[in-house]
Amino acid sequence: MSNCYCRPGKAGISRLDQDKEALMAAVPGVGDLGIFRIVGQPNLNLQIDRTAAARWSINVADIHQDAVQTAVGANAVTQVQQGEARYDVTLRYQQPYRDTREAIENVRLLAPSGERVSLAQLTKISTDDGAEQVNRENGQRYIAIKYSVRGRDLGSTVEEAIAKVNKNVALPAGYHLEWAGEYESQKRADKRMAIVVPVTVLVIFLILYTMFRSYKWALLILVSVVMASVGGPLALFLTHTNFSVSSAVGFLALFGVSVQTGVIMLEYINQLRVRRKLTEKSSREHILEAAVEGAVLRLRPIMMTMLVARWACCPPPFLTPSARIHSAPSPS
């Protein structure tokens, strides 16, 4: 699952997330789309009627502090010390006098004239939908849009969604988007692979040169690695598998196995060439014979090496999704 975060600098983010949700629903490959709802909690709002407060000669601060805060919320009246710890002692009305709207409306204040005035006479009370929870990250509020990618590779799907949202949704000042989840992890992995793959090829080349003491043989084996990698995209195409980080790791394993088989083949052919130099045949003939004989005699060990590595990688693609989850290593 990947998430699209909207971190606002002010209220009113639900409408923007609904617009983004509608745009993302039109992107092929996006499924299980939904917004983590944060509204739906009924809130009792009390707006002080200053005209009424002036009529009864009651201060606005008294209405808020005495009636609302002390009666419904809680006010610290003193402290209790236990050892080195200090605890506030709070005071408020008992639950039957504050657990319903009618009870709160009936909370009374003493006016200077001696009359007892209820909150219903001093405030405008309404029940509205408010925030059920407030999600925060790095000190900023956000709403998350969740979705999954099905039948398409993750990278192109999210990039198309980003392009549509950036083009059609105008964010007010103080708002910004962040695309996180698996997409963010894939971007980090792609950056690592952009470093790991060239370094791996360079290290392989240096090891081959150290072994053969020849740029020619080292480059020849690397060419065989490139030719062996042609089957990888073909296999992905035939199996309708999208390229992913796991596929990239598989290609690295393929590079290693190809180098191993190339070294086995080239080393044996070179040994046969040295033996045939003692014969009277031309250089061209003994090179061809050494190549053919080496290919025939090394076929079985190369096939054994390749099949052991390939069959070891075969079980994961055939596992069910639940089995893949249970067999995956736990994150560190």
Cα angle 313-319-320, degrees, rounded to a multiple of 5? 160
Confidence bin at 9 (pLDDT 50/70/90): very low
pLDDT (0 to 100) of residue 17: 64
Domain boundaries, the chain: 2-38+147-183, 41-131, 214-320
pLDDT tens digits, one per residue of 100-114: 888 888 888 888 888
Q: Identify the DSSP state of 242.
A: P
Contact yes or no for 257/251 (Cβ under 8 A): no
Residue 46 pairs in a beta bridge with: 125
pLDDT (0 to 100) of residue 186: 79
CATH number for the segment(s) 41-131: 3.30.2090.10
Q: Which of 305, 304, 302 shows the shortest CA–CA distance to 294?
A: 302
pLDDT (0 to 100) of residue 324: 41
pLDDT tens digits, one per residue of 88-97: 888 888 888 8
Q: State which of 120-124, 176-180, 300-304 shows the largest mean pLDDT.
A: 120-124
Residue 233 identity (one-letter amino acid): P
Helix ranges, 229-298 (H): 231-238, 245-276, 283-297
How far from chain centre, in Å, is Cα 260? 36
Query: Is 198's pLDDT higher than 80?
Result: yes
